[in-house]
Structure 1
């Protein structure tokens, strides 16, 4: 089976003060199998944000190879990279990034608009995605009519609506209270059990502990790669 993500020798270099070179990523080798739930942790400055930008095709590596669902993304022209980013990666950000003027349904439809999906199909798929995260009764609400946890659920629905190769969650619970955090993490775990590949970037050890594998970064390198017991048990999604 082709891995969901494969990084080989990934480096990211930035110019520093006085002509120095900053090695944000210094040779990352990482494979994420299809269906894995991986957490990436590390202190500030460890390289998590740089790795997030590479994984999300928001930045290009200075060296090395990135493959997503078998596609050699690091060798593609920008337009093709943008297509891969929209089709193969579902983003969940700390700040939700919802458009206030749009309903929950319309926010979830956005990735399909960019993908050229017909309007009738967009509506059906958006409603299915919102139902999966327990928001079937709130599809016509605007973001300011939803709680923080509900807004993040809309963001999760938007992330999964195109059936991406993997979900990339960047501090998805950073702006949530403890109850909403449990709701959102429970949904992410549920999606993982249903077969989704999840990469979660966090600085919170209790959040990372929900994953089945934890990669720790230090100084732009992988310092530790720890497999954990696979997730088990049922899940109740709060309505």
Structure 2
């Protein structure tokens, strides 16, 4: 089992590296986030020993148990956030990718322990404008970003998106290009903010995301294998 995880992990790293070269980008400019939701701590420890230090989790209770065992890793919360779950997220994670409402940002700021560094957050953007998806519309990002950036104990770092699925590379690239333009618009309007992160791209579309400026790709299946839905 460990050999197959390591092999898959190396294959994903090679894909990221090659996509960066194809896009004339420095491979160091893209961070690989291993999405470890529903996966056992043993798999995380194997990857950690092979150099992976950043892990993404969707479920609060499951992730807290993992963080307790491996507190020195960098933990990213990437799932939907319920208001009654903001406190443990604020207390235990270094990054939150899925801030989709002003209220959630306010609660995370209020509940972030002041003895910890500011919590790095990303605004989730419903870039494909799907009725079933959470997230700010692009116009709402421009409206709410100043209010969220002003909150204490938070560090607004950029944007995150899960676009509508597409099978063709050119179609995959379109929403990612819109995300890149939206981030650039924010950077131009607020040059003093530390906006340096575009979290986008998963197992099926990481190349398209990297071509369009992703700085962080979130990979689960192609590293850990198929998801076990019985554990969700």
Structure-1-length-normalised TM-score:
0.36
Task: Give the structure with higher Rg (CA).
Answer: 1
Of Structure 1 and Structure 2, which has the larger fraction of its residues in helix?
Answer: 2
Of Structure 1 and Structure 2, which has the larger fraction of its residues in strand?
Answer: 1
